[in-house]
A and B are shown apart, each in its own frame.
Chain A
Amino acid sequence: MQTKEKKTKEKPTYGVPRCLLFVCGRVLRYSKAYFAFTLLGLAVNILCQVMQFYLAPTLIGTLERGEGILAFMLALLLLGGGQAFMMGLRSYVDRNRYPMKMVLNSRLTEEVTGKIAATSYPNFLTEKFKNRTSQAFEGVESGVINGFNNLVNYHLRTVIMFAFYLYFLSDLHPLLGVVTGILAGIMFFYNRWAYAWGQRHRDEESEVWRKWDYVRDNMVKLPLIKELKLFGMTGWIEDIFRDVWLISSHLSVKRERFFAWRGVVNLVTDVLRDGFALYILISAAIRGEISAARFVLLSAAVNNFSSQVGGVFDSINHVREDCLKVNNLMEFINYPEPFRFEDGLSVPRAESYEITLENVSYTYPGAPEKTLDGFNLTVHRGEKLAMVGLNGAGKTTVVKLICGFLDPDEGRVLFNGADVREFNRRDYYSLFSAVFQQFSILDSTIAQNIAQSVENIDYEKLDECLEKAGLKKMIENLPKGLETHLGRDIYDDGIMLSGGQTQRMLLARALYKNAPILILDEPTAALDPLAENDIYMKYNAMCSGKTSVFISHRFASTRFCDRVVYVADGKAAEVGTHDELIRLGGGYAKLFEVQARYYRDGDVREMMRKEAEDNASE
C-alpha cells in the first residue's frame, strides 16, 4: 500500500510543455491528415457554436424591432441553416477522423510493442518495467490520441470561446467576470481536492476490480469447471463472489457520501453565480439599458461564459492528467537499456562456437538468494551437452545466460573468447535455435509460426522439419494443412494444440531456424514414452554440426549426449560423461538411482516400503 502511494507521488520526468510537444509531434509524424482534420473540426465547431448563440436572440430581435418577414427568414436561413450545415460538416469530419485514428493508434502501438520486443530481457524482471508497460499502452490511446483530441477540441475550444464571451460581456459589468471567475476558482480547487481523494481511493477500488476479474475469468476455465463439478465448489465460489461484491458496496457507500458534498458545493456556487448574473441583467434592464432580445442574448452569454470559466480551470486539470499519461509513455520509450544493440559489435561468424561461463553469479531481482553462485562451464565446439538437476537448481537460468537474455552479476559469459556484453544483442540472438519451457506461439497459421515469417516461406524445408519433429502426420490430417490457424484469440476456425503437439511444433520451429547453437529445455515433458524415445533417436541428426545443450530432469537424455553437467546449489557441481559421473557416485549418481530403480527387476513395492520405514526412523 505504501509503495503504491510513493509511486503516484513520483515526479514525472517530462513536464507539460514537453509532453504536449511530443503529442503534437507524434500526431504530425504518423498522420498529418488526422492533425489537419482535427483542426478543421475545431473551426467548424466554433462556427457552429457562435451561430447557435446568435440564432434565438437575432430572431427575437427582428420580431421585437418589427423588421418584417424577410429579415426574419433571412436570419433563420443564415444562422439556422448555417448551423445545420456546420453540424453536418462536423459529422463528416469526425467520421473521417475515425479511420485515421486507427492508423495513428496502430503506429503508436507499434512504437510501444517495438520497445517491448527489443528491450533488454532483464527489464522484464522488474516490477517497474512491467507497470510502465501497461501504462505505455494506456498512454497511446488515452495519452497521445485522446490527449490531442482534448487539446484541440476541448482545451483550445474552451479558451477561444472563453475569449469570445469575455469580449462580449466586457462592457456589461466589470464585476461579473470577477465574481464568475472567483466562483469557478472555488469549484476548481474543490474539484482538485475531490479528485485527489478519488485517486487515493482508486487503489482500493482497482483492487476490487482485479479480484472480480480474477473470479470472472477463472470461473469459466475448463479445469476449474471440472473441479467445480467433481468437488461441488459452487457454494465456495459464490462466497468468494459475494465477498468481492460486499467490499465493493462498502466502498461505494464511502464514495457516494463523499461526493454528495460535491453536490452541495456545486449547488452553492451555481446559485450564487446565477443569482448575481440575473441581478445585474435585471438591474440593467430596469435602468432601460437593454431590450428583451438583448436580455436573452446576454443571459445566454452569461451562462456560457460561466461554464467556459469552469472549463478553463478544468482544462488545466485535464491537461496535467493527460500529460501524466503521455509522460508515462515517453518514459517507457526512453527506458534505459542495459544491453547493447545497434551500438554493439557484430558477432564474428565462425564454423562453430564455444561458450564459456566464467565464475558466474546471478541473483534474480528481489530474490533472497543467488540462483547461480560461482558457476563455471564451457560448452565446447560442436559438443552435445546434457544439463540435469532438480527443479529450481538453476538450469534454465544457465540457458538464459548462454543465450544472452541475462547478464551475470559477477563473472563473465564468453562467446568464442569475447564477452557477450560487447555484442549487438539482436545479432547474437540470431545464432540460437531454442525450445524453452516458456514459449510463444502466435495466433496465425502453422506455416507462419514454424517459418517465423509471414512471407518467403521455404515449404520444402518446412516439410523436412515437420517430419523430424514428428508433426507431419497430424498436419496432413488437418483439412487446411499448413494453413490451419492456431489459437482462438483471432480466428474462429483456429485449433488448439495439445501439450505434446505444442512441444513438437516448437521443435520444428527451432529446426527451421537452423541456427548454429541448439538449446532444448525440457522438450519432452509432455510426450509419451514412444514419442520421447523418437525424439531422442532423432536428436543426433538434429544437431549434427551444431553446438547443443539439452536440459531435462529425465536422465535418459544424458545417454546420447557427449557430456553431462549436473547443476546443484548454483554451481556446475559435476561435469563429465554419464559413466564418469556414475562412477563418481555423487549427486548425479544418486539422482539417477532414484529414477532408475523403478525400471529394474525386483520387488519395487518391497523396496519402497523399506525406504518409507527408513524415512520414518530418521
Chain B
Amino acid sequence: MLRNKNKEKKYEMSVKESLFWTVKAIKLLHTLAPGEMELEYAGDISQTVFIFINVFLTARLVDELATEMRPEKLILFAALIIAFTILSQILHYVFFHIKQYKGIFRGEKKQYMLNKKLTSLDFSDAEGQEIRDRFFKIKQDEDWLNMGINPAYALLENFIWAASNITGGIALSVSFLFVRVPDGTPGAWFLNSPLLILAVIAVIALNTKLSTASGILAFKKESGLNDASQKMNRMKRHTEDIQKDENRALDMRLYNQSSQINAMRLEAVDNGYAAANKKLSRGSAGLLRMAQSFLLWVPDSVMFLAVGLKALAGAFSIGTVTQYVTALTLASDSISGIIYNIADMRLNAPFIKKFFDFMELPNNMYQGTLTTEKRSDRQYDIEFRDVGFKYPTAETWALRHVNIKFRVGTRLAVVGENGSGKTTFIKLLCRLYDPQEGEILLNGIDIKKYNPRDYMGVFSVVFQDYFLLSQPLGENVACARNYNREKAERCLREAGFGERLDSLPDGLDTYINKEFEPKGVQFSGGEMQKIAIARALYKNAPFIVLDEPTAALDPIAEAEIYRQFDDITGDRTAIYISHRLSSCRFCDEIAVFDGGKVVERGTHEGLIAEGGKYRELWEAQAGYYVGEGEK
C-alpha cells in the first residue's frame, strides 16, 4: 500500500532535518507560552545540580563512616545534606507552580491557531475532504500517538536533562580515570591505562546501539499495526459516540443496531487489532522489547564492574565507590537517553512538518484590490456570463453555461430539483467559490478584481444551515462583541422576532443554548430562523439571499415568514431559494434550475403557460391543493 511506503520513508528523515523541525516547533511553543520552558528547564537543571551535591556529600559521609567516624564531621555532612534538600525543594516548587501558570492554554492556543488557519483558507479548500483530513489528523496524532508539536517540548527537556547529568556525572567521576591502582596488583596495566574507560565506553556504546536497534525494529514491527490500530480507535470512538446519542436511540432499538455494532467492534478490535497485536507480542515485538529492557541495565553493571575492579585493587575508598557508581550511572543513562531521544526526535519530526505544512497552505483565490463603493441607491448590477463550475472531485459540472442578470431591487425565486445547482449558484454569487469557466461581473467588472472582503459585504445570506453560536442573542445578530443595540433590536423586530424578544427578561443579552450560560434559552426552529434572518438584516447589504428558510417550519410559521418577506427585503435585491413553490408567488421573477443550467426564467403565470420544467414541478406540488379550495 502506498501509505505504508510513505511511512517507511518517514523514519528516514535525517537527524539534521528532524532537528530543524524540532527547533521550529520549540520556537512556536515558546511564542505560545513565553517563560514556561525557561522555568521548566531551569528547574530541571537546578534539580540535577542538587542531586550531584547530594551524591558527593553522601560519599563523604560513607567515607567517614568507613574510616575515622568523627562525629562532628558526620553531623556536618548530615546537616549539609538536609540543608540542600530544603533548598532544592523550595526551588522546585517555585519553578513548578510559576511554570504551570505560564503554560496555561498553550495547547489550546496552538489548536486555535490551526483552527483559524482552516477557516481562513479558501472555502473550496476548507471544505475539501483532503484538507479536512489533514487538519483532523494533526490533532489525532497528538492525542493518540503523542506525535507532533507538543512532544518537542519533552524532547528538548530530555536533552537538557541529559546534558546536565552528563556534565555532573563527569565532574564527579573524572578523578576515577586518574586514580591509579598500586603497580604490581594483577591487571594493573589495564586498570591504570585509558583502555579501561575506552572499554567501558565501547561496551556502553555497543549496548546502546543494540538496544536502540531492537527498539526501532520493534517499533517498525508495531507500526505495521498502525492501520489496524487507527481503525480500532475510530471504531471505538464512533460506536461509543453513537450509542450514547439519544437521537439515535429510536433506530438503535427498532433496527437492532447494537448487534450490528457489536459485530463491527468484534471485527475491528478482537479479530483486528488485538489479534494482530497478540501475535506480535508473543513473538518478535515482545522479544525485542524484552531485549531492549534487558540491555538497558547492562551499562550499570559494566560501570559497577569497572569501579569495583579498581576499588578491589585498592585505588580508592568505599565512599568514593558510591560516588563513582552513582555519577557514572547517571552519566551513562543520559548517554543512552540522548541516543533514544535522537531516535524519538527523528520519529516525531515528520509530524511537526505536517503541522507547519498545514499552516503554510496558500490561499489560491485571486484577491483583487478594488473597493466596492458604498452606494446609497444600492445600484449593484450583477451578471453571470457563461459561468461553469465543477467541484474538485466531481466528474460532472455542477453548473455550466449559466447566464443570468439580476435586476436591482427585484425579488427572484430560484427553484429546481435537489442537485440542480441552486446552492452552488449562491456560493458562486457570494464568491465562496470561483468559477472555472466564464465570469461574474459586478457593475461590469469581474468580481475577482474586488477586494474579497468588500465584495462579500454586498451580500447578506441566510443559509439553510445557518449557524448560531451559544452566545448572547444580540451578539449573534451583530456577529460582534460590541454592537449597536438599537440596530440589533430593530433587525430582530423586522425579522418577526419582536414579540419573543419582549418576553425575554434579559433581552438582547439572553444566551442562546446552554453551553456558555446555564440560563440560556433553547429557541425553536422557527425562532432560530428569525434570528438568522435578523443577522442578515443587521449586515444591511444590498443583496439578501434566503436559502430554504422554511424547510423545517410548519405552515403557520412558514406563512409568517412569507408575510414578512416584503419587510425583510425592503428595497434590496432578494433571492429566495425553496422547494416549496408557493414562494414563487410573491417573487417578481422565477429562475428554474435543472441539471446545472438555468432552463427557464419568467413570472409564475408566464412559466405555467410555457408548460416546461416549472409547470412540472408546480403541478407535482400544487395538485394536492388546487381544486380543493374551490369546491
Residue contact B319 to A605, C-beta cutoff 8 Å: no
Residues of chain A lying within 8 A (CB to CB) of residue B621: 529, 532-533, 556, 599
Interface stretch of the complex, out of A154-162, A182-190, A291-299, A359-367: A291-299
Q: Which of B290, B309, B318, B515 contacts A88 (CB 8 A)?
A: B290
Q: Which of A118, A443, A594 contacts B556 (CB 8 A)?
A: A594
Residues of chain A lying within 8 A (CB to CB) of residue B126: 222, 225
Residue contact B481 to A438, C-beta cutoff 8 Å: no
B85 an interface residue at 8 Å Cβ cutoff?
yes
Residue contact A231 to B265, C-beta cutoff 8 Å: no
**Distance to closest chain A CB from B104 (angstroms):** 4
Residue contact B309 to A279, C-beta cutoff 8 Å: no
Residues of chain B lying within 8 A (CB to CB) of residue A215: 112
Residues of chain B lying within 8 A (CB to CB) of residue A553: 554-555
Residues of chain B lying within 8 A (CB to CB) of residue A319: none
A53 an interface residue at 8 Å Cβ cutoff?
no
Give CA–CA (A150, B93) in the complex, Å: 27
What's the A-B contact tally at a CB cutoff of 8 Å?
449
Interface size on B, residues (CB 8 A): 171
A92 an interface residue at 8 Å Cβ cutoff?
yes
Of all chain A residues, which has the CB nearest B108? A212
Residues of chain A lying within 8 A (CB to CB) of residue B202: none
**Distance to closest chain A CB from B288 (angstroms):** 9
Residues of chain A lying within 8 A (CB to CB) of residue B144: none
Q: Which of B240, B287, B295, B515 contacts A113 (CB 8 A)?
A: B240
Interface residues of B in 210-240 (CB under 8 A from A): 231-232, 234-240
Residue contact B475 to A225, C-beta cutoff 8 Å: no
**Distance to closest chain A CB from B361 (angstroms):** 14
Residues of chain A lying within 8 A (CB to CB) of residue B286: 92, 95-96
A571 an interface residue at 8 Å Cβ cutoff?
no
Query: B129, B264, B551, B628 — which one has the most chain A CB atoms within 10 A of its CB?
Result: B628
Interface residues of A in 562-618 (CB under 8 A from B): 582, 591-600, 604-605, 608-609, 611-612, 615
Residues of chain B lying within 8 A (CB to CB) of residue A55: 304
A28 an interface residue at 8 Å Cβ cutoff?
no
Residue contact B463 to A227, C-beta cutoff 8 Å: yes
Residues of chain A lying within 8 A (CB to CB) of residue B485: none
Residue contact A531 to B625, C-beta cutoff 8 Å: no
Residue contact B318 to A64, C-beta cutoff 8 Å: yes
B244 an interface residue at 8 Å Cβ cutoff?
yes
Give CA–CA (A476, B108) in the complex, Å: 44
Give CA–CA (A64, B92) in the complex, Å: 36
**Distance to closest chain A CB from B541 (angstroms):** 9
Residues of chain A lying within 8 A (CB to CB) of residue B583: 598
Q: Which of B247, B249, B281 contacts A99 (CB 8 A)?
A: B281
Residues of chain B lying within 8 A (CB to CB) of residue A295: 62, 65
Interface stretch of the complex, out of A167-175, A309-317, A343-351, A447-455: A447-455
Interface size on A, residues (CB 8 A): 166
Of all chain B residues, which has the CB nearest A612? B563
A249 and B479 in contact, given A83-B297, A292-B319, A444-B264 (Cβ under 8 angstroms): no
Q: Which of B78, B85, B277, B460 contacts A270 (CB 8 A)?
A: B85
Residue contact A241 to B582, C-beta cutoff 8 Å: no
Residue contact A87 to B293, C-beta cutoff 8 Å: yes
A489 an interface residue at 8 Å Cβ cutoff?
yes
A390 an interface residue at 8 Å Cβ cutoff?
yes
Residue contact A529 to B585, C-beta cutoff 8 Å: no
Residue contact B119 to A232, C-beta cutoff 8 Å: no
Give CA–CA (A440, B266) in the complex, Å: 20
A480 an interface residue at 8 Å Cβ cutoff?
no
Q: Which of A113, A214, A487 contacts B470 (CB 8 A)?
A: A214
Residue contact A253 to B101, C-beta cutoff 8 Å: yes
A113 and B467 in contact, given A102-B273, A598-B562 (Cβ under 8 angstroms): no
Residue contact A611 to B563, C-beta cutoff 8 Å: yes
Residue contact A599 to B479, C-beta cutoff 8 Å: no
**Distance to closest chain B CB from A567 (angstroms):** 11
A63 and B290 in contact, given A227-B467, A231-B539 (Cβ under 8 angstroms): no
What DSSP secondary structure best describes chain A's contact surface?
helix
Interface stretch of the complex, out of A17-25, A520-528, A540-548: A520-528
Q: Which of B115, B129, B555 contacts A220 (CB 8 A)?
A: B115
Residue contact B318 to A391, C-beta cutoff 8 Å: no
0/1 interface trace, chain A 216-247, chain B, CB 8 Å (1 if under) = 10111111111111111111100111000100
**Distance to closest chain B CB from A500 (angstroms):** 5
Give CA–CA (A224, B469) in the complex, Å: 9
Q: Which of A98, A210, A296, A604 contacts B62 (CB 8 A)?
A: A296
Give CA–CA (A292, B62) in the complex, Å: 6
A36 an interface residue at 8 Å Cβ cutoff?
no
Query: B69, B111, B621 — which one has the most chain A CB atoms within 10 A of its CB?
Result: B621
A133 an interface residue at 8 Å Cβ cutoff?
yes
Residue contact B628 to A582, C-beta cutoff 8 Å: yes
A178 an interface residue at 8 Å Cβ cutoff?
no
Of all chain B residues, which has the CB nearest A477? B395
Residue contact B479 to A596, C-beta cutoff 8 Å: no
Residues of chain A lying within 8 A (CB to CB) of residue B309: 69
Residues of chain B lying within 8 A (CB to CB) of residue A124: 246, 249
Give CA–CA (A280, B468) in the complex, Å: 70
**Distance to closest chain B CB from A255 (angstroms):** 8
A599 and B625 in contact, given A109-B236, A214-B516, A490-B234 (Cβ under 8 angstroms): yes
Residues of chain A lying within 8 A (CB to CB) of residue B63: 292
Interface residues of B in 596-631 (CB under 8 A from A): 616-618, 620-626, 628-631
A63 and B321 in contact, given A114-B258, A263-B89, A530-B620 (Cβ under 8 angstroms): yes
Residue contact B248 to A438, C-beta cutoff 8 Å: yes
Residue contact B308 to A59, C-beta cutoff 8 Å: yes
Give CA–CA (A332, B97) in the complex, Å: 39
Give CA–CA (A440, B255) in the complex, Å: 9
Q: Which of B104, B260, B321 contacts A453 (CB 8 A)?
A: B260
Residue contact B257 to A442, C-beta cutoff 8 Å: yes
Residue contact B312 to A72, C-beta cutoff 8 Å: yes
B199 an interface residue at 8 Å Cβ cutoff?
no
Residue contact A489 to B287, C-beta cutoff 8 Å: no
A196 an interface residue at 8 Å Cβ cutoff?
no
Interface residues of B in 533-554 (CB under 8 A from A): 535, 539, 551-554
Interface stretch of the complex, out of A8-16, A323-331, A414-422, A429-437: A429-437
Residue contact A231 to B535, C-beta cutoff 8 Å: yes
A488 an interface residue at 8 Å Cβ cutoff?
yes
Residue contact B243 to A117, C-beta cutoff 8 Å: yes
Residues of chain A lying within 8 A (CB to CB) of residue B278: 96, 99-100
0/1 interface trace, chain A 82-114, chain B, CB 8 Å (1 if under) = 011101111110011011101101100110011
Residue contact B629 to A596, C-beta cutoff 8 Å: yes
Residue contact A595 to B325, C-beta cutoff 8 Å: no
A106 and B270 in contact, given A227-B463, A598-B585 (Cβ under 8 angstroms): yes
Residue contact A229 to B432, C-beta cutoff 8 Å: yes
Give CA–CA (A233, B234) in the complex, Å: 32
Residue contact A608 to B62, C-beta cutoff 8 Å: no
Give CA–CA (A220, B133) in the complex, Å: 12
Q: Which of B62, B105, B237 contacts A248 (CB 8 A)?
A: B105
Of all chain B residues, which has the CB nearest A432? B254
Residue contact A509 to B255, C-beta cutoff 8 Å: yes
Residue contact B585 to A605, C-beta cutoff 8 Å: yes
A405 an interface residue at 8 Å Cβ cutoff?
yes
Residue contact B318 to A63, C-beta cutoff 8 Å: yes
Give CA–CA (A590, B556) in the complex, Å: 10
Give CA–CA (A443, B251) in the complex, Å: 14
Q: A-B pairs with the 9 shortest C-beta distances?
A: A598-B582, A263-B93, A117-B258, A440-B248, A88-B294, A556-B624, A84-B297, A604-B585, A596-B625
Q: Other CB < 8 Å A-B pairs besides A88-B291, A102-B270, 9 of them?
A: A84-B294, A225-B119, A228-B119, A256-B100, A440-B250, A490-B231, A556-B624, A599-B618, A612-B563
Can you offer 24 A-B residue contacts whose CB atoms are under 8 A?
A: A84-B298, A87-B297, A89-B290, A99-B278, A105-B269, A118-B258, A219-B119, A224-B469, A225-B119, A245-B108, A245-B109, A249-B105, A260-B93, A263-B97, A390-B554, A432-B254, A440-B242, A440-B251, A444-B264, A525-B551, A527-B579, A532-B579, A559-B624, A599-B618
